[in-house]
């Protein structure tokens, strides 16, 4: 229990340090209504609240029998997931949001037990829907990449 609390306290200090680094940031231009520093500060604030709960909660987290063990196959899935997210970050600009999301989302769904055909359909529709939501509705520009020929 004490190790969990110490780890949460350490992460809370990291959040505080990141918030101090993010606070003075001012972009020369802003394409979002709230500016570029609001999102990281909001995320750090929410993480800090959750970490404060973990530091001061009355009982420790007890692992139940339903939770999967942290064994070799689980660690392998985690490593593959991190690798896919790194590939997504690398392909985000050149391929665009929609294609990179589909390309990474399908293997991610299959990795965690999704069936092939529903995974392809749902990931494709979600990628297009999220692009429309962010780019058109919320006016947060996302790259189209290779699909930019379809625009106008």
pTM: 0.59
**Chain segment 139-150, per-residue pLDDT in tens:** 777 888 887 777
Q: Cα separation of 33 and 30, whole Å?
A: 7
Q: How confident is the model at residue 11 (pLDDT cuts 50, 70, 90)?
A: very high
Going by C-alpha positions, the residue among 35, 46, 42, 39 that lies closest to residue 11 is 46
What pLDDT shows up at residue 63? 64
Identify the sign of the CA torsion 82, 86, 92, 95. negative
pLDDT higher than threshold 90 for residue 129? yes
Question: Within a 10 A sphere around the Cβ of 91, how many other Cβ atoms?
Answer: 17
Decide if 103 contacts 89 (C-beta within 8 A): no
pLDDT higher than threshold 70 for residue 64? no
């Amino acid at each position: 229990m004490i190790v969990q609390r110490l780890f949460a306290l350490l992460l809370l200090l990291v959040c505080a340090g990141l918030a101090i680094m993010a606070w003075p940031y001012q972009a020369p231009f802003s394409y979002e209504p709230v500016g570029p520093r609001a999102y990281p500060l909001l995320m750090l604030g929410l993480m800090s609240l959750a970490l404060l709960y973990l530091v001061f909660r009355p009982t420790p987290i007890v692992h139940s029998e339903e939770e999967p063990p942290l064994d070799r196959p689980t660690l392998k899935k985690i490593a593959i997931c991190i690798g896919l997210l790194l590939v997504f970050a690398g392909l985000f600009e050149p391929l665009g949001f929609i294609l990179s999301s589909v390309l990474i989302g399908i293997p991610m769904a299959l990795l965690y037990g999704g069936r092939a055909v529903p995974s392809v359909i749902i990931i494709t529709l979600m990628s297009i829907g999220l692009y429309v939501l962010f780019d058109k509705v919320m006016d947060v520009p996302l790259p189209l990449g290779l699909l930019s020929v379809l625009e106008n």
